[in-house]
């Protein structure tokens, strides 16, 4: 069953003009793409009998100073985003989309990749006020 989702992801990557086999990550169900200077990482996995789909793009490190102001800035930015959000893991900021994979189509994946790439390109920031 999960292989069906792998196939849909690879068809979407191929529709971008990228050979899917060249974008496969180190683990089954992972793909690594590049948009400008940003990496876009795709994952499909099974967790507690659910199939999950995720796209993340690492954006920047969390600054050492004025973290509270930086976090508030991210939260304010999140408000204007559509189905995508800023997320923090360890000391890095990501643009992130996660959902169950059961409704995935090639068109949905292409739209989400476009959104993640757009927000990543718009997010090359450490706010000036920090």
pLDDT tens digit sequence for 7-34 = 999 999 999 999 999 999 999 999 999 9
Q: What is the largest CA-CA distance in the chain?
A: 49
CA distances in angstroms from 93 to 24, 76, 88, listed in the order given: 23, 14, 5
Name the nearest CA neighbour of 86 among 50, 52, 108, 62: 62
Contacts of 81 (CB under 8 A, 6+ apart): 119
Q: What residue spans of the chain are helical by DSSP H?
A: 2-15, 20-23, 67-79, 106-122
Angle at which helices 2-15 and 106-122 pack, to 10 degrees? 60
Residue 122 has a pLDDT of: 86
pLDDT digit string, tens, across residues 93-106:
999 999 999 999 99
Q: How far apart are CA 2 and CA 4, in angstroms?
A: 5
**pTM higher than 0.95, yes or no?**
no
Domain ranges of the chain: 2-122
Evaluated on CA atoms 107, 112, 113, 114, the torsion sign reads positive
Fold adopted by 2-122: Yope Regulator; Chain: A, (3.30.1460)
pLDDT digit string, tens, across residues 45-92:
999 999 999 999 999 999 999 999 999 999 999 998 999 999 999 999
Phi, psi of 106 (to 5 degrees): -60, -40
């Amino acid at each position: 069953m999960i292989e069906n989702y792998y196939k849909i992801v690879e068809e979407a990557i191929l529709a971008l003009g990228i050979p899917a086999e060249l974008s496969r990550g180190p683990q089954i169900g992972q793909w690594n793409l590049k948009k400008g200077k940003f990496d876009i990482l795709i994952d499909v996995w099974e967790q507690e009998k659910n199939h999950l789909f995720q796209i993340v793009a690492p954006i920047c490190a969390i600054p050492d100073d004025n973290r509270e102001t930086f976090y508030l800035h991210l939260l304010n930015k999140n408000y204007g985003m559509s189905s995508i959000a800023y997320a923090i893991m360890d000391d890095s900021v990501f643009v992130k989309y996660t959902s169950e994979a059961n409704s995935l189509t090639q068109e949905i994946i292409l739209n989400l990749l476009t959104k993640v790439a757009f927000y990543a390109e718009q997010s090359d920031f450490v706010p000036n006020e920090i």
